Structures are given as structure tokens and as C-alpha cells.
Homo-oligomer: A and B are copies of this chain.
Amino acid sequence: MFSGCQFSLYPMSDNFVEVILPAVKAMGSPKDLRIETDDISTLVVGQPERVFEVVAKAYEAACRAGGHVVLSALFSRGCPGEPDDPLCTPEGPSKGPSNGAGSDSATRGAVTSPAATTTTVATGVEIDAQFSLYPLGIPGYMNTIAATVGAVKEAGVYDRSKNFCTRLSGDLAAVFAAVERAFEEAARDTGHVVIHLTASKGSPSKKQNSDSM
């Protein structure tokens, strides 16, 4: 299985470079991850729970720099177009080749559910977010999506449904835990799952919108 994330940080500030670079460096250089940055996004390859962990860490670091900071992240697991990578495979389960969404029981079996059992430690950073989840290759994907939205509601960070996405609100750690759980839940139905997450902290528009709604 291949899993990872392409993410970008957008600090709405003249000194955006001074916010982005330290935030990316906050992930460190762990041996169990491959991290590469270009001018559009940063790639993190590794086991999903580790990928979510370090992307949350980078975003938290950027948020603590102050101001309005947005994260845009694409999390993917099991894309049959990507070569397997040992970095992405948990120790223990057999490493089967990923030949297509929904066809790889080894991939589907290698699902953990950290957010379901782990108590998240609040960061104190309140964010708003929206995410879209795509279970690829299966006719019944709308049922999978509905189930993951249900899981997000249980996690207590659900705000409301929007066109094409689901809106969340809460502590950064809780929002990430809920999205990670949705990702893992969907992977029980198909090998190839993608989530796009947009997270926003410090928007000056928020108060205004809250007043009018």
C-alpha cells in the first residue's frame, strides 16, 4: 500500500515564508517518513497515522505564529497507480501488492482506528474546517461517505453539511482525529481512499458570518 499526503500552508501575511518554513521543519526528519517540498505543496509519505500526526504538527506550528492561516491537505491511501512503499506498511500484516481499489484484502485489512480509541490532547487552537472524502472504485461509495459523516458527528466536531463537503469546528487535535477516523473507516470498504481537508484558523470573516446566521 502507498499512503501519504500533499499539503500546503497558507498564512495570509506578508511574512508567509517565515511562517511556512519553520512549520514544515516542525515535522522534523523522522526516518519512518519521506518528506519533500516544492513550490506548491509538501509531500509526506508513510503510515497514515504518522502522516496525520506530522501534518497536524506542521499546521499547529503555523497557527501558533498568529494571524489567519489555512491548511489545504490531500490524504490518500491505496492508490493503485502508486508503487508500494515499505514506509507505508505497518509491521506485522502481510504486504500484498495493491492491484486496485476494493480488490486488495491485505490493504483493506491494514486499517487501524487510532482516533476511535485514543484520547486526543487538546492543542488550544480552535479551527474551522471542511473535508470531502472519496472512496474510489466502488458503486456503493455514497453509503461509505454517509457512514464516515456519521462517525464525524459522533466525534463532536460536526458543524454542518455544505455542498460537496462537510464542515467541522473544534480543537485542531479533535478535528484531525475525526478526519483520520473517517479516512480509516472508509478504508474498510475500499483500498483506495482520498480525503481533501481545508482547515482555517483566525479568519476575520468568521465573526461576521456567525453574526448573520
Residues on A facing B (Cβ under 8 Å): 2, 4, 6, 8, 10-14, 16-17, 37-41, 43, 45, 68, 70, 72, 74, 76, 79-82, 100-102, 128-130, 132, 134, 136-139, 141-142, 145, 162-165, 167, 194, 196, 198, 200, 203-206, 208-209
Contact = CB atoms under 8 A, between A and B. Distances in A.
B70 A164 contact: no
A22 to B, nearest CB: 15
A83 to B, nearest CB: 10
A43 B200 contact: no
Given A81-B145, A136-B134, A141-B137, A196 B74 contact: yes
Contacts of A41: 130, 198
A163 B194 contact: no
Contact of A130 (B37, B40, B167): B40
B38 A209 contact: yes
A74 B164 contact: yes
A16 B204 CA distance: 10
A164 B40 contact: no
